[in-house]
Amino acid sequence: MKQPSAYLKMRILGAIDYADGKSITQRIRNLAAQSFSDEDGNSRSFTWRTIQTWLYRYKSQGITGVQPKSRKDKGSTRKVSPEELLEALNAARRHFHDKHPDKMSLYRYCIEKGLLNKNDIAQTTYYRFIREYDLLKDDDSVAKKRLAFCMQYANQLWQADTMFGPYVKDHNKPKPTKLIAFIDDASRVVAHGQFFTEENTETLITALKNALYKRGIPEQLYVDNGSIYTSQEITLICARLGIILRHTPIRDGSAKGKIERFFRRLRQQFLSRQLDLSSLEALNRQFTLWLEDEYNSVVHSATGLKPIDRFGFDLKRVKFLSPCDDTDELFFAEDTRKVKNDNTFSFKNLRYETPVDLRDKLITIRFDRARFDRIVIYYKDQRMGDAKPLDAIANGLLRRKESSS
Instruction: Kindly report, residue by residue over 231-242, the tens digit of the pLDDT.
Output: 888 988 998 898
* Percent of the chain residues past pLDDT 90, beyond the cut: 37
Helix (H, G, I), strand (E, B) or coil at 105: helix
User: Please, where are the H alpha helices in 43-188?
Assistant: 48-61, 82-95, 103-112, 123-133, 141-147
Q: Where are the beta strands (DSSP E) in 127-237?
A: 158-170, 173-184, 190-196, 220-223
Residue 208 to residue 223: CA distance in whole angstroms:
12
Residue 77 has pLDDT above 90, yes or no: no
Query: CB of 314 within 8 A of CB of 154?
Result: yes
Q: Indicate left, alpha or beta for 328 from its phi (over 0: left) and psi (-120 to 50: alpha).
A: alpha
The separation between CA 186 and the C-alpha centre of its own chain, rounded to angstroms, equals 17
Q: How many CB atoms lie within 10 A of CB 151?
A: 19
Give pLDDT, residue 144.
43
Residue 178 confidence class, pLDDT cut points 50, 70, 90: very high
pLDDT at 374: 86
The 10 Å CB-count burial string (b at 16+, else e) for 297-306 is: eeebbbbeeb
Q: Name 182's bridge partners.
A: 160, 192
- Residue 139, exposed/middle/buried by CB under 10 A (0-12, 13-18, 19+)? exposed
Mean pLDDT value of segment 66-79? 51
How far apart are the C-alpha atoms of 332 and 321, rounded to whole Å? 15
Residue 280 has pLDDT above 90, yes or no: yes
Confidence at residue 278, expressed as pLDDT on a 0 to 100 scale = 94
pLDDT (tens digit per residue) in 314-338: 999 999 987 776 788 889 988 999 9
* Residue 254: pLDDT over 70: no
List Cα–Cα distances, 129 to 39, 108, 125, 136, in angstroms: 22, 16, 6, 10
pLDDT tens readout for residues 136-159: 765 444 344 444 446 888 999 999
* Residue 217 confidence (pLDDT) above 90: yes
What mean pLDDT comes out for the span 383-400? Answer: 71
3-state secondary structure of 288: helix
Read off the pTM: 0.60
**Planar angle of CA 246, 248, 252, nearest 5 degrees:** 170
Average pLDDT of span 226-252? 84
- Given a cut of 80, whether residue 344 has pLDDT beyond it is yes
- Predicted confidence at residue 146, as pLDDT, reads 42
The answer to whether 197 and 176 are in contact (CB under 8 A) is: yes
Mean of all residue pLDDT scores within the chain: 82
Which DSSP letter does residue 4 get?
A: P
Residue 118 has pLDDT above 50, yes or no: yes
- Model pLDDT, residue 311: 93
Amino acid sitting at position 23: S
Where is mean pLDDT largest: 54-58, 114-118, 232-236, 280-284?
A: 280-284
What kind of fold does domain 158-317 have according to CATH?
A: Nucleotidyltransferase; domain 5 (3.30.420)
Which is higher by pLDDT, 222 or 369?
Answer: 222
Domain boundaries, the chain: 6-66, 82-147, 158-317, 332-404
Query: What is the model's pLDDT at position 97?
Result: 65
Indicate the DSSP class of residue 253.
Answer: G
At residue 30, the pLDDT reads: 86
Average pLDDT over residues 192-206: 94
Taking each helix axis from N to C end, the angle separating 82-95 and 123-133, rounded to the nearest 10 degrees, works out to 90
